[in-house]
Amino acid sequence: MSFDNFYAELHEKLKNVVPEPEIQIKAEIAWEINKLKAEKNAVILGHNYMEAALFHSIPDHVGDSLGLSRIAAQTDKDIILFCGVRFMAETAKILNPEKTVLLPAKKAGCSLAESITAQDVRNLRKKFPGVPVVTYVNTYADVKAESDICCTSGNAKAVVESFKSDTIIFLPDEYLAGNVARETGKHIIFPTRKSVADDTLLDAQMIGWHGRCEVHEQFSVKDIQDIRAQYPDVAILAHPECSPEVVAASDYANSTQAMIRYVEETNAPQYLILTECAMGDNIAAANPEKEMLRLCRVRCPHMNEITLEDTLDSLQNDRYIIEVPEEIRVRAVKAVQRMIEIG
Ligand code: 13P
Ligand code: SF4
């Protein structure tokens, strides 16, 4: 394909969400990235939260955490460049120890991944011996290594239901745990971080942790009430990292990829998505005939670290290379493999 055709296609996709001069600049960088990607035998995986120009120009595959983990597990390319956050790139490395995995930002963290340590998980295991540990994929490799299985927002319910045990430890997202408890009819307790020893199980069937997504915790039931008052027929979609109250007041809650599918299929006169706002641009670009309502307060600051400029630099200079110590990786890979087989 010539650059002119590449630009024309990108312009067609982005014309309603990105200003014209910006499309020109971004198209030139994306063109360089795609040339280099082919030369270096790399695959680019892009999370649904990438900014619109990047999302629509360079990834070979886009998707949610579960879908991208599955693709990472199968790729035959030499380099996996992850346009997402660190825990996602780490998951790709856990599955592909022999490949080079690149993240275009030094940190690109996640408030959920920062909320828990491997020692916290070991303490919980000591306090609740024999209780299986389910860990959200939004955690670092050493935490995954202490877990029986990982899950994503797309298969959390199926993972929890795959256990025969009455009680499970579900970490670290307090809201996702609350939403899964509600869906599965389980009760949940939250041991305090400092005094795990003070908590008793009583009739709890899920033991949670106090992590939260700094983006999704900002949506409120009042937001939903205000929108419904103005647009009574709007379809409201929430990511399950929103509070259980927000999810209960919405029409649909699921992973980012499932929300994208819902918008493609809905006949509602308007839709509103309660999630990271770059995804709103990506959905709006792909569904120009549908009316999206915006309630976009913040971008995820960590996803926002990934730019086209830094992605080019990443491919040119092989940085930042993701490493996972082998003794952690061999334990973490079991939990990740189990996750990608479910749901
Ligand atoms: P998904 O797995 O639904 O894409 O979510 C990842 C994430 O970090 C949401 O904030
Ligand atoms: Fe983490 Fe929330 Fe950002 Fe997702 S949106 S990467 S959960 S901080």
Do 85 and 120 sit in the same domain of this protein?
no
Q: What is the pLDDT of residues 288-310, one digit of tens each?
A: 999 999 887 778 999 999 999 99
pTM: 0.94
Residue 276 belongs to some domain of the structure: yes
150 and 78 part of one domain:
no
Tell me, yes or no, whether 104 and 41 share the same domain: yes
CA atoms within 13 A on the CB side of 149: 23
Place of tokens 């389980």: 186
Burial class (CB in 10 A: 0-12, 13-18, 19+), 257: buried
The preferred substitution site among 103, 215, 274 for testing ligand 2, maximizing ligand atoms within 8 Å of CB, is 215
From 163, 193, 212, the end of a domain falls on: 212
Same domain, 154 and 227: no
With a 6 A CB cut-off, is 91 part of the ligand 1 pocket? no
Cβ 306 under 6 angstroms from ligand 2: no
Residues 148, 234 within the same domain: no
User: Is the Cα torsion angle 175, 237, 113, 277 positive or negative in sign?
Assistant: negative
Residue of minimum CA distance from atom 3 in ligand 2: 300
Same domain, 189 and 259: no
**175/177 Cα distance (integer angstroms):** 5
DSSP letters for 139-180 = S-HHHHHT-SEEE-TTTHHHHHHT--SS-EEEESBHHHHHHH
Tokens of 106: 């030094």
Q: For the chain, what is the largest distance between any 2 Cα atoms, rounded to a whole number of angstroms?
A: 66
> Do 206 and 176 belong to one domain?
yes
Torsion of CA 194, 195, 197, 202, to 10 degrees: -120
**Which of 212, 238, 273 is the last residue before a domain boundary?**
212
SS3 readout for 32-82: HHHHHHHHCCEEEEEECCCCHHHHCCCCCEEECHHHHHHHHHHCCCCEEEE
pLDDT at residue 165 in the model: 83
Helix extents (H) in the chain: 3-14, 20-39, 52-55, 65-74, 86-95, 118-127, 141-145, 156-161, 174-184, 221-230, 244-249, 256-265, 277-286, 308-317, 326-341
Collect the ranges in the chain with pLDDT lower than 70.
192-204
Q: Token pair 């006169």 is at which residue? A: 269
- Number of domains comprising the chain: 3
For ligand 2, atom 8, the nearest C-alpha belongs to 110
Let me know whether 184 and 273 are in one domain: no
pLDDT tens-digit readout, 113-135:
999 999 999 999 999 999 999 99
Q: Are residues 198 and 239 in the same domain?
A: no
Q: Ligand 1 atom 3: the closest Cα is on which residue?
A: 255
Residues 8 and 83 in one domain: yes
Residue 329 resides in a domain: no
- Does residue 122 belong to any structural domain of this protein? yes
Residue 188 lies in a domain: yes
Instruction: With H, G, I as helix, E, B as strand and everything else as coil, classify residue 190.
Output: coil
Tell me, yes or no, whether 195 and 220 share the same domain: no
* Ligand 2 pocket member 111 (CB < 6 A): yes
pLDDT for 186: 85
Q: Examine residue 343 and state whether it is found in any structural domain, yes or no.
A: no
Residues 183 and 223 in one domain: no
Pick from 48, 71, 273 the residue to mutate for probing ligand 1's pocket: most ligand atoms within 8 Å of its CB.
Answer: 48
Q: Whose CA is nearest to atom 8 of ligand 1?
A: 138
* CB 106, CB 122: distance < 8 Å: no
What CATH number did the domain enclosing 27 receive? Answer: 3.40.50.10800
Phi, psi angles (nearest 5°) of residue 102 = -115, 145
- The residue type found at 48 is N
Is 260 inside a domain boundary?
yes
Nearest to 324 by CA among 69, 149, 140: 140
- Residue 127 is part of which domain span? 113-212
Question: Of 194, 212, 230, which marks where a domain is finished?
Answer: 212
Ligand nearest to the CA of 302: 2
307 found inside a domain: yes
Q: How far apart are CA 236 and CA 271, in angstroms?
A: 6
Residue 323 in any domain: the answer is: no
Instruction: Give residue 202's pLDDT.
Output: 54
pLDDT for the residue numbered 204: 62
| Ligand 1 contact, 155 CB (< 6 A) | no
Beta bridge partners of 188: 206
Q: Tell me, what's the pLDDT at 203?
A: 59
241 in contact with ligand 1, CB cutoff 6 A: yes
- 262/260 Cα distance (integer angstroms): 5
